[in-house]
A and B are shown apart, each in its own frame.
Chain A
């Protein structure tokens, strides 16, 4: 792995973590576009690798939040279990739609995120 590439990956990780810590999210909305734009990942590899990277981020974040007593466990199940069905359909669908379509959808997601940040 080249030094420049390692530095970019480290930068992506740090930025995703900052974003996650500040806003309490998983960080995927930072990881995916930066893997595509900075390192030249294709959309599918960016999405797959981002999902792996988010496991420790979300797990540590959830542990910290649990220590503060902020987690509603039953509600987490209520949204999380149906999401397992959704993620299975989503990854399968991702293999079938054109990669550039995924980029366009991601751009739409970012616009929605920007709106959510402003109105929150």
Chain B
């Protein structure tokens, strides 16, 4: 019980700090501590993410860090994309997909580090129009 609560707090901390849902901690927590199957853990994690991102988005909005129009556009298109993603997951071999995504993820991580250590940054995003 304490283990699960600790994983929950940590997942929330990562979610708020980095702007992710926390699934990266929820899923292994549900699999290894509670003993759910991978599929059930991913499903249960998605439900747990909903209130977390709602509260986090509201707090970030109060800090002035949410660009509402961009976020809504991304979120709505992503809903469409996720339907395609479910179809892809049923066609392509899971192991191949995971290895491909792991490779892409490492490239993106390297670019983030490079961006953070270099002094120059791309131009700031356009402000939201009134």
Bound CA span A117–B7, Å:
19
In chain B, what residue has the closest Cβ to A112?
B24
Instruction: Name the contact of A54 in the complex, choosing from B42, B45, B49, B88 (C-beta under 8 A).
Output: B49
Bound CA span A42–B115, Å:
11
Bound CA span A63–B36, Å:
19
B81 → chain A closest CB, angstroms? 2
- Known A-B contacts A18-B84, A20-B78, A86-B16; the reply to A79 vs B21 at CB < 8 A is no
Instruction: Name the contact of B18 in the complex, choosing from A9, A47, A56, A85 (C-beta under 8 A).
Output: A47
| Number of residues from A at the complex interface, CB < 8 A | 103
Prevailing SS type, chain A contact patch: helix
| Contact indicator A53/B71 (Cβ below 8 Å) | yes
| Contact indicator B24/A109 (Cβ below 8 Å) | yes
| Contact indicator B18/A117 (Cβ below 8 Å) | no
Instruction: Name the contact of A9 in the complex, choosing from B23, B74, B83 (C-beta under 8 A).
Output: B74
| Contact indicator A13/B78 (Cβ below 8 Å) | yes
| Contact indicator B126/A37 (Cβ below 8 Å) | no
Can you name 22 A-B residue pairings with CB atoms under 8 Å?
A: A13-B76, A22-B101, A23-B89, A26-B21, A29-B20, A29-B105, A32-B20, A37-B108, A39-B122, A40-B122, A53-B72, A70-B43, A71-B43, A79-B11, A79-B44, A82-B7, A86-B11, A88-B59, A102-B17, A103-B112, A104-B113, A107-B113
Chain A residues near B (Cβ < 8 Å) = 1-2, 5-6, 9-10, 12-29, 31-37, 39-42, 44-62, 64-66, 68, 70-73, 75-95, 97, 100, 102-118, 120
